[in-house]
């Protein structure tokens, strides 16, 4: 996990961005319509009415802005730039349905603002110099606005909870000294180029010399016009045509702006990232004309530097053997891709996704902080456009390293990006998510509040359907009984991350999909949908309660849809009361349901929070509940603490029909853990309760994580065997009892192309490497294999090697 690296020296934080009358960001109509609306600094307008700004709070590390099409996501990024440095403010962007559009001589441009926190005495001193206002006092927050009315560039300061009147910024050049962040962007529209002309690399010339294709075309034209060059007279007669054929505009085209950006990105890769000396590139350009051996050595050395600088397999999860290499052609230095098959491809032969991910990665590595700024904000607009779901998950790690760099020499950067892809949402940290919603008619865009507390429900609306929570999309799936289990597991995972628990003691929610089955009775069918029909089955782990229904569901999973064919490995099924979990609980029946992992005080606080929201006439804390009163029945705890707590509250209040909803209760438990309860003064939860909850939850999540790794490993084994068997069937069908050595070499290539980068695949590759000696594959490839039966046996053995190796591994119940 990345550790937080504090910026060098103090820096104030960009906390909130404000926009008003900017395209769809009209004004905060919900806030304005509230009965208790109180205007904030800058909300006033020339007509005397208050129009509150649309505001977006930013996290200190990473903020993810999501929303449907035309919801105003890109406008948020432009608002950040306008608020910070005043760029991009134009009359044409004034909101068309604002009441001031075309009707007011003053309100003619959109208005923007930025709120900063974490100010120190030096910052206050700079503010006093900027405004000419002395003795501002203990300033806690600063707001800078760009307005239509005088003062057009103004600021407000908050002292002891009260905002000042507007102050004129008389010296705007001091904003850099104040610590207003610099803006940096990753350009999502600039991929790495296929090739870079030598002239650009050596001389920096923005023109493109003749390509190999252009030279070939000219030679073909000259070959067809040989008659032009028969005599001096025929040359003179064809002079006009020859001049047109060799015109500068034909030989060397001007480079457009986008291609020039691509060339510069490629140059950054070579010079900034790989640290290749420009003289070395100049030598290579000259060497390819006459010293091919020397040129080859230079290319090898350049490729070594690129591989070392990129360390790309650490960031690209789809191929651990991926390499970006260059080859020297007569007119260009060409970029190529070498994958796990060992073959090289030009960029034109691979997907756009890889090309654009490489671009983002190179821009990340080549990033150099602004030497004049104390802090930076990185903006990126919809990076998901060209990337697969797996590549988007890899990009999340790049954003994480921007915000929390592993390299101690890199300064943390505040990241803001917009997306409409669920795969670019970090489900480990819901606080980062901001959802935009487009209103009707003149309402404009609003920022949906409390996304995390509402369990991503606004995301479902933003995406149409929240794909990241649909069934069976990830490398591994955790099937649980219902949505409440999903909420508690996801919430507890984020809570443990906040408490700095080790990564192995919690789940990575970006690598596993939690799938609620909609009830215990539906768990077997949900598992069957994933595993019962396809040749290649996704990895599945199942979590069940330790009650009668959970026991029955486990039996049905082992019974399967057909006799003797369990739906899944029983070792990958975990029940809350399983011996693999050594948890402590107040329940006399032990841990039955996931709610039992939380001490009684946390459960009571959660129930109190639930009643304040849904049953306000019940004050749970006034009931003075305790474990003795909650677990008082003959079969106390046998159905989980939720059932007993519901009954205790109903009995104590004579509300015998009182219902404690599981989903709402789960949400309240997460709020108690996170310290987000709205009545903290009456909380019963102690530090000891939180410590015990942490221990119990770590027991559960670390065990689930271990089962997840085992499930993924097992499916990798089955997948390898299945693929090799399919290839073997086709091989034996076409060879019919005999095979040449070149046929076996082709077979090896086919199998290697189907393997991933797992340890099981590596073992298979090692076995095939021994075939070269056993079957003399390095000899004449046209000769037949002498012992075809031995080859057939070797292929069969290869298909089941991964299974044999996996059976030699420790069982998943082994604590080691």
CA separation for the pair 412, 399 (Å, rounded): 10
For residue 290, pLDDT over 60 is answered with yes
For residue 811, pLDDT over 60 is answered with no
Question: For the segment 526-549, what is each residue's pLDDT rounded down to a tens digit?
Answer: 888 777 555 557 789 999 999 999
CA separation for the pair 630, 648 (Å, rounded): 5
For residue 204, pLDDT over 90 is answered with no
Q: How far is CA 229 from CA 232, 246, 345, 547, in A?
A: 7, 15, 40, 95
For residue 370, pLDDT over 90 is answered with no
Percent of the chain whose predicted confidence (pLDDT) is above 70:
89
Tokens of 684: 């019963």
* Dihedrals phi, psi of 26, to nearest 5 degrees: -75, -75
Contact predicate 306/274, CB 8 Å: yes
pLDDT confidence of residue 4: 35
pLDDT confidence of residue 767: 86
Question: For the segment 728-740, what is each residue's pLDDT rounded down to a tens digit?
Answer: 888 887 787 888 8
Cα-to-chain-centroid distance, residue 622? 45
- Residue 239: which H helix or E strand, with range? helix 239-245
- Give the 3-state secondary structure of residue 60: coil
pLDDT confidence of residue 437: 85
- DSSP notation for 164-182: PPPEE-S-GGGHHHHTPPE
Residue 785 has a CB neighbour count (10 Å cut-off) of 21
Give the residue from 533, 530, 541 showing the smallest Cα distance to 570: 541
pLDDT confidence of residue 468: 38
CA separation for the pair 316, 302 (Å, rounded): 21
Question: For the segment 759-798, what is each residue's pLDDT rounded down to a tens digit?
Answer: 677 788 888 888 988 988 888 888 888 888 899 889 888 8
CA separation for the pair 699, 492 (Å, rounded): 12
Contact predicate 713/756, CB 8 Å: no
Mean of pLDDT over the chain = 85
Residue 179 has a CB neighbour count (10 Å cut-off) of 24
Tokens of 217: 């075309």
CA separation for the pair 46, 563 (Å, rounded): 79
pLDDT band at 24, cuts 50/70/90?
very high
- Give the 3-state secondary structure of residue 784: strand
Burial of 173 (0-12, 13-18, 19+ CB in 10 A): exposed
Helical segments of 52-203, H only? 73-85, 121-131, 175-178, 198-203
Burial of 725 (0-12, 13-18, 19+ CB in 10 A): middle
Q: How far is CA 313 from CA 387, 394, 508, in A?
A: 17, 11, 20
For residue 809, pLDDT over 60 is answered with no
Q: In DSSP terms, which residues pair with 196 in a beta bridge?
A: 333
Q: What is the mean pLDDT of residues 585-612?
A: 94
Cα-to-chain-centroid distance, residue 16? 23
CA separation for the pair 170, 174 (Å, rounded): 9
pLDDT confidence of residue 807: 59
Number of residues in the chain: 816
Question: For the segment 433-469, what is each residue's pLDDT rounded down to a tens digit?
Answer: 898 988 777 788 988 875 544 444 555 555 544 443 4
- Give the 3-state secondary structure of residue 468: helix
Burial of 321 (0-12, 13-18, 19+ CB in 10 A): exposed
pLDDT confidence of residue 208: 58
Torsion of CA 238, 240, 245, 251, to 10 degrees: 140
Write b or e for each residue in 658-687: b if 16 or more Cβ atoms lie within 10 A of its Cβ, otherwise e: bebebbbbbbbbbbbbbeebeeeeebbbee
- Say which residue the tokens 């020339």 belong to: 46
- Give the 3-state secondary structure of residue 478: strand
pLDDT confidence of residue 504: 82
Question: For the segment 59-90, what is each residue's pLDDT rounded down to a tens digit?
Answer: 999 999 988 777 888 999 999 999 999 998 99
Q: In DSSP terms, which residues pair with 62 in a beta bridge?
A: 415
Write b or e for each residue in 509-543: b if 16 or more Cβ atoms lie within 10 A of its Cβ, otherwise e: bbbbbbbbbeebebbbebbbbbbbeeeebbbbbbb
For residue 523, pLDDT over 70 is answered with yes
pLDDT confidence of residue 733: 79
pLDDT confidence of residue 453: 42
CA separation for the pair 587, 600 (Å, rounded): 9
- Give the 3-state secondary structure of residue 764: helix
For residue 813, pLDDT over 60 is answered with no
CA separation for the pair 205, 209 (Å, rounded): 10
pLDDT confidence of residue 175: 85
Residue 401 has a CB neighbour count (10 Å cut-off) of 18
Q: Strand 167-168 to strand 153-159: parallel, antiparallel, or no bridges (unpaired)? A: antiparallel
pLDDT confidence of residue 6: 38
Question: For the segment 294-338, what is each residue's pLDDT rounded down to a tens digit?
Answer: 999 999 999 999 999 998 888 887 766 778 999 998 888 999 988
pLDDT confidence of residue 456: 47
Contact predicate 527/568, CB 8 Å: yes
Residue 129 has a CB neighbour count (10 Å cut-off) of 15
Q: How far is CA 516 from CA 161, 471, 480, 521, 716, in A?
A: 45, 9, 5, 12, 24
Question: For the segment 675-694, what is each residue's pLDDT rounded down to a tens digit?
Answer: 876 666 678 999 999 999 99
Which range among 38-47, 64-73, 270-279, 417-426 has the greatest average pLDDT? 270-279
pLDDT confidence of residue 257: 83
pLDDT confidence of residue 113: 96
Cα-to-chain-centroid distance, residue 789? 50
**Cα four-point dihedral sign 716, 718, 724, 730:** negative
């Amino acid at each position: 996990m990345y550790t937080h690296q504090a910026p060098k020296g103090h820096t104030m934080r960009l906390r909130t961005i404000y926009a008003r009358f900017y395209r769809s960001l009209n004004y905060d109509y919900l806030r304005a319509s509230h009965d208790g609306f109180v205007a904030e600094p800058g909300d006033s307008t020339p007509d005397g009415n208050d129009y509150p700004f649309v505001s977006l709070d930013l996290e200190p590390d990473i903020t993810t802005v999501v929303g449907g099409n035309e919801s105003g996501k890109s406008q948020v990024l432009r608002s950040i730039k306008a608020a910070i440095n005043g760029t991009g403010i134009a009359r044409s962007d004034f909101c068309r349905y604002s009441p001031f559009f075309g009707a007011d001589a003053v309100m003619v441009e959109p208005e923007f603002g930025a709120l900063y926190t974490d100010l120190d005495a030096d910052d206050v001193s700079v503010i006093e110099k900027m405004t000419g206002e002395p003795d501002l006092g203990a300033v806690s927050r600063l707001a800078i606005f760009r307005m239509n009315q005088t003062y057009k560039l103004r600021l407000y300061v908050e002292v002891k909870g009260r905002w000042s009147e507007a102050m004129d910024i008389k010296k705007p050049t001091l904003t850099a000294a104040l610590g207003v962040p610099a803006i940096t962007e990753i350009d999502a529209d600039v991929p790495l180029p296929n090739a870079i002309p030598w002239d650009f690399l050596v001389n920096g010339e923005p023109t493109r010399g003749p390509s190999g294709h252009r030279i070939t075309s000219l030679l073909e034209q000259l070959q067809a016009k040989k008659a032009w060059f028969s005599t001096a007279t025929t040359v003179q007669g064809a002079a006009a045509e020859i001049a047109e054929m060799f015109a500068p505009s034909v030989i060397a085209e001007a480079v457009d702006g986008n291609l020039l950006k691509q060339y510069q990105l490629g140059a950054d890769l070579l010079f900034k990232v790989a640290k290749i000396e420009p003289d070395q590139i100049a030598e290579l350009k000259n060497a390819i004309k006459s010293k091919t051996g020397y040129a080859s050595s230079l290319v090898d050395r350049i490729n070594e530097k690129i591989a070392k600088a990129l360390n790309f397999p650490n960031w690209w999860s789809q191929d651990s053997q991926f390499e970006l290499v260059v080859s020297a052609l007569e007119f260009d230095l060409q970029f190529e891709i070498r994958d796990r098959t060992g073959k090289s491809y030009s960029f034109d032969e691979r997907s756009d996704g890889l090309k654009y991910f490489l671009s983002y990665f190179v821009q990340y590595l080549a990033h150099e902080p602004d030497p004049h700024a104390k802090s930076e904000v990185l903006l990126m607009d919809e990076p998901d456009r060209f990337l697969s779901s797996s590549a988007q998950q890899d990009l999340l790690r790049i954003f994480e390293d921007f915000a929390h760099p592993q390299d101690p020499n890199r300064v943390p950067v505040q990241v803001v990006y917009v997306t409409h892809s669920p795969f670019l949402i970090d489900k480990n940290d819901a606080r980062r998510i901001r959802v935009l919603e487009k209103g009707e008619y003149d309402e404009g865009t609003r920022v949906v509040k409390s996304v995390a507390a509402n369990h991503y429900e606004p995301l479902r609306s933003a995406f149409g359907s929240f794909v990241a929570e649909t069934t069976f999309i990830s490398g591994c799936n955790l099937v649980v009984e219902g949505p409440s289990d999903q909420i508690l597991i996801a919430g507890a995972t984020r809570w443990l991350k906040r408490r700095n628990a080790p990564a192995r003691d919690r789940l990575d929610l970006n690598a596993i999909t939690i799938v609620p089955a909609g009830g215990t009775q539906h768990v077997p069918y949900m598992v069957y949908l994933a595993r019962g029909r396809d040749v290649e089955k996704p990895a599945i782990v199942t979590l069940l309660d330790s009650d009668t229904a959970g026991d029955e569901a486990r039996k049905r999973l082992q019974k399967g849809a057909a006799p003797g064919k369990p739906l899944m490995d029983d070792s990958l099924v975990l029940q809350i009361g399983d011996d693999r979990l050594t948890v402590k609980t107040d329940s006399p029946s032990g841990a039955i349901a996931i709610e039992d992992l939380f001490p009684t005080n946390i459960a009571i606080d959660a129930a109190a929070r639930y009643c304040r929201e849904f049953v306000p006439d019940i004050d749970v804390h006034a009931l003075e509940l305790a474990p003795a009163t909650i677990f008082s029945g003959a079969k106390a705890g046998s159905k989980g603490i939720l059932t007993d707590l519901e009954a205790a509250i109903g009995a104590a209040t004579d509300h015998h029909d009182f219902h404690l909803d599981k989903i709402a209760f789960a949400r309240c438990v997460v709020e108690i853990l996170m310290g987000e309860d709205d009545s903290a003064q009456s909380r019963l939860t102690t530090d000891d309760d939180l410590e015990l909850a942490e221990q119990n939850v770590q027991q559960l999540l670390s065990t689930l994580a271990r089962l997840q790794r085992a499930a993924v490993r097992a499916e990798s084994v089955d997948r390898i065997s299945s693929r090799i068997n399919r290839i073997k069937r086709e091989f034996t069908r076409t060879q019919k009892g005999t095979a040449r050595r070149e046929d076996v070499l082709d077979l090896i290539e086919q199998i290697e192309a189907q393997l991933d980068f797992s340890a099981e695949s590596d073992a298979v590759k090692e076995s095939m490497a021994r075939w070269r000696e056993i079957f003399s594959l390095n000899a004449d490839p046209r000769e037949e294999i002498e012992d075809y039966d031995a080859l057939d046996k070797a292929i069969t053995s290869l298909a089941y090697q991964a299974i044999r190796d996996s059976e030699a591994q420790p069982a998943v119940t082994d604590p080691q």
